[in-house]
Amino acid sequence: MIPALLAHGRATPTCGRRKKEGGSSIPPYSPTLCTAAGAAISAFLIQTPARLFDMAIERTFSILKPDATRRNLTGAVNAKIEQAGLRIVAQKRVRMTRDQAETFYSVHSARPFFGELVDSMIAGPVVVQVLEGENAIKTYRDVMGATNPANADAGTIRKEFAVSVGENTVHGSDAPETAAIEIAQWFAGNEIVG
């Protein structure tokens, strides 16, 4: 919108001194040369960090695992997510089937902990979510903390709420491609409200 205003001459990005007829100068931000909108846009552009114009708004997928729902931690975990600047744009409480859990964690199917992981995910309800924000994947992974709560940083979800490596409260996507697949497994496009 700002470039459109500037291109059509409805606002001026800077308002310097200019000569009037007769040789006298008009002071900066004179209403005869600059609109109030132009002055506001100039001030905004000067005071706004350049990184805001290059924001990487993305979406990531989150699961609040059965150990979290069993202990009624949904609100506490959501508060940490929102305090980190992420928006919850889709959320629902579901009971995973064995087939859904096996599909979801199929990347780990050859690992020795696969059966235990699937069993833990179907042991109770989960809350599946789509989170949105600047660099959402990295931001959420930082907020989650290390998989092992003993190694997680203070203030992270896992440090504060996880019981063990196996009951570590939350899952989060690790890459944009993974996030897209995980989101599509649990949400239709019209269920995501940004």
Name the residues annotated as catalytic. Answer: 171
* Residues forming beta bridges with residue 87, ordered by sequence position: 132
3-state secondary structure of 60: strand
Helix (H) or strand (E) holding 93, with range, is: strand 87-94
Collapse the DSSP code of 174 into the 3-class scheme (helix H, G, I; strand E, B; otherwise coil) and give the result. Answer: coil
The shares of helix, strand and coil residues in the chain, as percent rounded to the nearest 5, are: 45, 15, 40
First to last CA, the chain: 20
Rounded to whole angstroms, what are the CA distances from 128 to 63, 140, 149, 151?
5, 14, 21, 25
Rounded distance, CA 77 to CA 64, Å?
8
- Rounded CA-CA distance 122/95 in Å is 7
* 183 in Cβ contact with 59 (< 8 Å): yes
